[in-house]
Chains A and B, each alone.
Chain A
Amino acid sequence: MALTFSGVVSSMTKEISLEHVWVEFGEFTAVHKANLNIAGGEFFSFLGPSGCGKTTLLRCISGFQEPTRGKVRIGGEDMKGVGPNKRPTALIFQNLALFPLRSVADNIAFPLEVRGVDKKTRRKRADELLELIALPGQGDKKVSELSGGQKQRVAIARALAVEPDILLLDEPLSALDLKLRQHMRTELRAIQKQVGLTFIYITHDQGEALTMSDRIAVMNKGKIEQIGDGRSIYDHPTTSFVASFVGENNVLDGTVLSNDGKVMQIDAGMGTPFTVESHPAGGPALAPGDACHLFIRPEALRVSRDDSSVNQFETNFVTEEFEGNMRHIMMNTNGKDLKLSLINDGTNAIDANSPVKLDFAPELGIALKPGELASA
């Protein structure tokens, strides 16, 4: 995609802040005290299962939903009572909501048309934007003549037509097929870098959130569970929900035996107690005797080379899923299922008929207060 974009880069990227935002529909609380700041120029994602309140939060920012309590500020200004047509935001809908009766150029120029810009200027701007989204000279086509990915780009061009400060994207890639989705991830990120706008992205797809975002807010049942960059969300989840929702995880019920602030001893019913690091991100502290969830990612487990490694335990082979580059092996110890993911590099022979010894590094085990787990 040719990214020659003149005149759109906004020097005044605006910060967004949500201050104690609650949204209630009758008895149902859709958003539960959301508190966060999004910096100007940031690519920020809300990640969560459907019904977690992320779309409602987006509608609060775009102005289609007034918070029951709390404030939405854009560039420091309170947005209460400011309609969606008066906010410096542009929303890209899940189904794109292109106007089927208008040509591609008339779609892109719609925001200019309603602002009374004359026809010639509108056309010129539409052509510029078509250039940006690598569809030059296609302005006279009907929307229905475009492919899925092209429609996607037209929707982006239409949103950028009046140089908004913030682009809001509501699962815009979910209707595309896998290959195109992966391609559009890269493109979206590139457009964002190019135009320097704040992107707020809603998704239930953790792959999209992790690959594109500067920061991610993981939501569940109206609450923001954790905010951080992709690495901290994946490597250092602070709640059981985040640990189980983002990526795959093995979860074991355990009891804390000791915690000296650096390492914890945990009995997870796997024979010898496990040693894991105390939470480096400063999650809720666990005291001896506390129940806990112990999370070990499938890729953190490894086949023991010798008998002296820490956190070593015996398992039995159940079944294997072969994915080509990866081997996903289901193991079982004392009635507990564990998933083990290994790179298919020819090593790691697993004997299906005799016990296998596995271990994991203390820094890769995450012990958290028991909480709600994401349903698979």
Chain B
Amino acid sequence: MRDLFYDLVRRNGMAVCIYLMLAVSIWVFLLIILPQLTMLDYSFRFNLPPAKIGGPEDVYTLEQYRYFFQGSGASDGINTLDIGILFKTLLSAVFVTIFDLIICYPVAFVLAKSSTGAKARLLVLALIVPYWINEILRAFAFRILFGATGVINETGMGIGLWDTPIDFIREDVALYAGLAYAYILLMIFPLYNAIESLDRNQIEAARDMGANWWQVHAKVVIPYAKPGIASGMTMVFMLTSGALAAPQILGGPSNLWFTQLVYQWFNSGGNWPRGSAYAMVLLIVCIALVLLVMRLFKVSIGEIRQ
């Protein structure tokens, strides 16, 4: 650690070094760790009116977490509604992640191995340009697209595929499409980076030795790109399960995303401690799930960093 510091000073000078240390410290402590700690602290408190905060009733409690598991009813009840929403959110996020992987892998492969120079840059630009548009605007655009009189229903009925408009919003098709679209770049770029560094000769060697296209991918490209796949999937999963705008705008009326519950407790419910507890539950479950899957597929965090 000390050597690292001296090395940094020697290479960049003291001023740059102090700036770097300060910037990183402020970022990590002030903007990440401190708010999360406050949130953690909140989640272990009662929801008290301002006058009672700091008073004798302001003690630590597991009440908010108990509520998540047992609800407001009898002490032996189970809060099936909220737990159900959490599971549905996680399941949907997994589905969106896998869907993104299936869409992005071919794109990343073509981008990394088949296109060169100017063509590749143009493709990357085409991928990035839609993200210059605000996330909420994009979600509303999807709502219009999938609406009862939207382009998709009009076209489908126009060419006679179905007769009455399909309610894509209620069926959550619009939500899945919107979420899959929202984080597609976070899947493509890690995949692209991983595949791009694969020696082309490896693919040709596998071909030459009798592998068909499916085997080339299954036995050579995918094992090599595994860290990139893990990194892309982690990012898409974490962001999807934590998404709020898309579920708010595109979600069906009967379906809640877990983040919407958190939002409700903070906002209309006015119960910050409970909102904090719910947010903590989501965070911990997501991290646990990611670590479990990484262990299952034998990927280490060190590999993902590449």
Contacts and interface: CB of A to CB of B under 8 A. Distances in A.
Contacts of A84: 204, 207-208
Interface string A54-71: 000000001110000000
Prevailing SS type, chain B contact patch: helix
Contacts of B215: 114
Contacts of B155: none
Contacts of A111: 209-210
Task: Determine the interface band of chain A, counting residues with CB < 8 A from chain B.
Answer: 20 to 34
B209 A90 contact: yes
Q: Which of B209, B212, B223, B224 has the most CB of A within 10 A?
A: B209
B36 interface: no
Given A85-B209, A85-B212, A111-B210, A101 B224 contact: yes
A162 B209 contact: yes
B223 A97 contact: no
B209 A114 contact: yes
Given A83-B207, A113-B219, A97 B212 contact: no
A95 B205 CA distance: 11
Contacts of A158: 209
A139 B209 CA distance: 19
B220 interface: yes
Contacts of A46: none
Contacts of A85: 207-212
Interface string A306-321: 0000000000000000
Interface string A74-87: 00000000011110
A63 B215 CA distance: 18
A266 to B, nearest CB: 49
A84 B203 CA distance: 11
Interface in A97-113: 97, 99, 101, 110-111, 113
Interface string B166-203: 00000000000000000000000000000000010110
Interface in A161-206: 161-162
Contact of A99 (B207, B208, B210, B220): B220
A120 interface: no
B206 A93 contact: no
Nearest to B223: A101
A162 B210 contact: yes
Nearest to A87: B208
Interface in B214-244: 215, 219-220, 223-224
Contact of B209 (A95, A101, A110): A110
A89 B204 CA distance: 13
Contact of B201 (A83, A93, A114): A93
19 contacts: A62-B208, A63-B208, A64-B208, A85-B211, A85-B212, A89-B208, A90-B208, A91-B208, A93-B204, A94-B201, A97-B205, A110-B206, A111-B209, A113-B219, A114-B211, A114-B219, A115-B210, A158-B209, A162-B209
Interface of B: 199, 201-202, 204-212, 215, 219-220, 223-224
